[in-house]
C-alpha cells in the first residue's frame, strides 16, 4: 500500500544486475500503463530509435482488463494484434512479448478479471505464434502476487527475474 518496492528488489533491477556488461536494461514501468495504440508516437518513437542489436521486452495487458468494471479482453487482444503487426513490419530489433501472470481471484468479485486475463493470455500467445514473435507466458511461472492479486510480491519479483533469465531468450 506504500507505493513501489525499493528499486533493488524489483525484477528489472535484478535482471539489470545479472546482465551487466551484456545488456543495458532500461525500465519503463509505470502504474496504470495499458497496451499502447500503434498510433501512439511515444511507443513507436521508442521503437524507431532502436537498432537490430536491441531487445525490447513488453509485458502489458493486465491494466487493460483491470481498469474496467466488466472486463472484456477483446480490446486488449486487438491492441496486441496491431502492436505485433507493427513489430513484424517495422521493428529492427528483437521483440519479446510476455503474457502477464493472471489476475488472481482473491475474492469472488475478482473472478471475472481472472477469467478475462486467462482468455487474454491465450490469445496473446496465439497472436505471437501467428506473427512469428518471440513470446513468454509468465502465467506459467508460479509468480507470488501481493495482497491485491495483481502486483508481484518481493518474492514474486525475484521469481519473475529468475524465470525471465532462465527462459533463454536473452
Q: Is the pLDDT of residue 33 over 80?
A: yes
**102 and 137 Cβ atoms separated by less than 8 Å:** no
Can you tell me the mean pLDDT for 79-108? 95
Which fold is adopted by the domain 54-166?
Answer: Rossmann fold (3.40.50)
Residue with the larger pLDDT of the pair 146 and 121: 121
Task: Give residue limits of the domains in the chain.
Answer: 54-166
pLDDT tops 60 at residue 1: no
pLDDT (0 to 100) of residue 2: 60
CB 71 within 8 A of CB 65: yes
**Which pTM was predicted?**
0.92
Amino acid at each position: 500500500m506504500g507505493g513501489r518496492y525499493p528499486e533493488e528488489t524489483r525484477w528489472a533491477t535484478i535482471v539489470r544486475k545479472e546482465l551487466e556488461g551484456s545488456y543495458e536494461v532500461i525500465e519503463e514501468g509505470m502504474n496504470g500503463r495499458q497496451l499502447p495504440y500503434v498510433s501512439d508516437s511515444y511507443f513507436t518513437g521508442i521503437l524507431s530509435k532502436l537498432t537490430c542489436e536491441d531487445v525490447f521486452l513488453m509485458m502489458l495487458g493486465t491494466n487493460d482488463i483491470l481498469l474496467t468494471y466488466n472486463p472484456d479482453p477483446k480490446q486488449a487482444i486487438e491492441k496486441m494484434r496491431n502492436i505485433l503487426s507493427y513489430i513484424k513490419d517495422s521493428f529492427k530489433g528483437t521483440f519479446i512479448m510476455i503474457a502477464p501472470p493472471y489476475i488472481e481471484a482473491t475474492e469472488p468479485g475478482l473472478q471475472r478479471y481472472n477469467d478475462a486475463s486467462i482468455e487474454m493470455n491465450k490469445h496473446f500467445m496465439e497472436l505471437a505464434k501467428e506473427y512469428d514473435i518471440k513470446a513468454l507466458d509468465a502465467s506459467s511461472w508460479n509468480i507470488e502476487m501481493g495482497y491485491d492479486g495483481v502486483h508481484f510480491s518481493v518474492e514474486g519479483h525475484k521469481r519473475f527475474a529468475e524465470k525471465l533469465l532462465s527462459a533463454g531468450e536473452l
